[in-house]
Amino acid sequence: MLSVGIHPSPRRARPGPALILALACLPVFIGALDLTVISAVLPAVIADLRVPLQSGLNDAAWAVSGYLLAYAISMTFMGRVSDVWGRRRVYLICLTVFFAGSWLVAASSGAPAAAVERMVRLLAGGRPDRSLMALYALIGGRVVQAFGAGALVPVTMALAGDLYPAHRRAVALGVIGAVDTAGWVLGHLYGGILVQFVPWTYLFWINLPIAAVSFGLVGWALRDLAVPPGPDGIDWAGAVLLGLALTGLNLGLGVADPAARTGARASSPLAAAIGVLAFVGFLLQENRARRPLVNLKFFTDRSLAAAGGANLLVGYCLMVGLVSVPLFINLAGAESGAQGALASGVLLSAFTIPMALAAVLGGWLASRYGDRLAAAAGVLIALAGFGLMTRWQPQFARQAAQFVAGLGEPVSLGREVVEGVAGMALGLVLAGVGLGLTFAPIGSTVINGVQDSERGMASALVIVLRLVGMSLSVSTLTSYGLRRSTVLSQRLLEGVQLTELGRIAEVGIQVATRVTVEMAGIAVGVCALALIPALLIRRESIRRAPAQAASSQG
């Protein structure tokens, strides 16, 4: 006899971690792309909005630096928020914020500009310039975008920690590092190409369907993801102080735009002082907070402290590569600004693209041989790359410009030109590969060394320390470069007449080469210093997390 009954349908299995990671990485890539895409289209934005050059050019730069600043600030606390509220909820909130910011940027000349104009009239009166109102709406939209996009990175890193066991996390973190790096590396190129065929607003309109589809897919993929047991509150006072500290640091030391190939902004000692005071206040707050934003006890663990120190120094060296190439090409070899920008972009790709690819390789090395070996190997390779950069010759910049200009010509390039460019590219490739290899082992050391409920906080810490290193690099390199250029120019131009234009130009090339080589030498020293904390990472750090997680649940 057959019995008929109602049986509950089997629960659908959640997608595999690889698919979830792929879905989560798409918005990370788009957010990183938008970090630098504006650099290529900013001239088109200024022309389209009819921004007056005299009063609006400096304001327009905030479309770049405002995004970078908000991107960094959002990382500081949203990783911790995901520890408390859950990865799925915070990820979807970030996507919604990014969607809203993208709409504000794309529609900035319409309703957002009208809203800003009404607000300015209400507060200040008069008839404000509509083009400036559109620019301010665009800048506001960029800041909103960045608050969503920046938080996606640490939340996705923490998500990888939730999805993968400790011995497989390094590869996943390497993929995230590669995607994030590839985004900001390709942003300038992506924007520069598309703006030749479509209006600049399309670069932001396209974000809307991507964010909407990602919202649905990621929400579906993470529907059964458990919220890790963690604290029931967030240290908002600490978040405000850390955000203020980062703001002061970036404004005080100068916010650089890597893809713009233009070095740094002017620094502000007052902003830097405010940033230092805010950071001291943050440390005091975290020391007494019941639910700290950053657990300062992390730094009593040798591996965690060593990984943090190595990451700070890696960020410093990363900016050396991004700053030195455009400085060298534009001052010592390019015949025009356009030629210099193109040659700088091509040469920098030899640094940034291998860096992105090596991030995945670094994850594989860390999972197979341990975090310490992978991190130390990366630092040593980067040291060798920057060492080769200290051997650059004055003619290399001219040869690089000739090489790029000759790529589209039917005539063959001379052997001397090709050898000069190859000599530059080899050092850049090695430096990029070395730095890229460190991303995953440093990240896995930190994330594997904390409890399950602290992965978001740890992920944010990894990225913020690298950004702080980059900011410190911009400040010190700018100061050093200006001082050394002045000293060398005065020494080499002694007795030279103003009418000797050829001699003056030759001295300029010599000075630019000398400063670039010395910057590379500084990077060699910083890499040597970074080797110390890299070797202090415990060899068995990749096996600590499971035991730690078990003890936290016991």
Ordered per-residue pLDDT tens for the chain, 554 residues: 444 444 444 455 668 889 999 999 999 999 888 888 887 787 788 888 887 765 556 677 778 778 888 888 888 788 888 888 888 999 999 999 999 999 999 999 888 888 888 888 888 777 777 788 888 899 999 999 999 998 898 999 989 988 888 888 889 999 998 998 888 888 877 887 788 888 889 999 999 999 999 999 999 998 877 666 655 677 888 888 888 888 887 776 654 444 343 444 445 678 778 888 988 998 898 888 888 888 888 888 888 899 999 999 999 999 888 888 877 777 766 565 556 666 777 788 889 899 999 999 999 999 889 999 999 999 999 999 999 999 888 777 777 777 766 655 544 556 666 677 787 889 999 999 999 999 999 999 988 888 877 888 888 888 888 888 887 887 788 778 778 888 877 777 776 655 655 666 677 778 888 888 899 999 999 999 999 999 999 865 444 443 343 333 33
Indicate if 25 and 165 belong to the same structural domain. yes
Number of domains making up the chain? 3
Indicate if 249 and 111 belong to the same structural domain. no
User: Scanning the structure block, which residue is given the tokens 């730069």?
Assistant: 61
CATH code, domain with 187: 1.20.1250.20
Indicate if 240 and 182 belong to the same structural domain. no
Q: Find the domain containing 273 and state its range.
A: 235-257+265-292
Indicate if 245 and 180 belong to the same structural domain. no
On whether the CB atoms of residues 191 and 38 are closer than 8 A, the answer is yes
Indicate if 331 and 435 belong to the same structural domain. yes
Nearest to 20 by CA among 224, 210, 181: 224
98, 155, 240, 281, 368 from 244: Cα distances, Å: 22, 21, 6, 10, 40
Alpha helices in 390-500 (DSSP H): 394-406, 415-448, 455-492
Indicate if 390 and 273 belong to the same structural domain. no
Indicate if 58 and 206 belong to the same structural domain. yes
Nearest to 230 by CA among 332, 85, 341, 373: 85
Indicate if 336 and 205 belong to the same structural domain. no
Nearest to 439 by CA among 488, 491, 382, 508: 382
Structural domain includes residue 229: no
CB neighbours of 326 closer than 8 A, spacing ≥ 6? 261, 262, 263, 340, 341, 344, 348
Structural domain includes residue 9: no
Q: Is 281 exposed, middle or buried (0-12, 13-18, 19+ CB in 10 A)?
A: middle
DSSP-derived 3-state class of residue 305: helix
Structural domain includes residue 64: yes
Indicate if 211 and 241 belong to the same structural domain. no
**Rounded CA separation 46/139 (Å):** 12
Structural domain includes residue 8: no
Give the pTM.
Answer: 0.80
**Rounded CA separation 115/21 (Å):** 38
CB neighbours of 339 closer than 8 A, spacing ≥ 6? 401, 404, 405
Structural domain includes residue 1: no
Indicate if 191 and 247 belong to the same structural domain. no
Structural domain includes residue 7: no
Indicate if 249 and 368 belong to the same structural domain. no
Indicate if 288 and 303 belong to the same structural domain. no
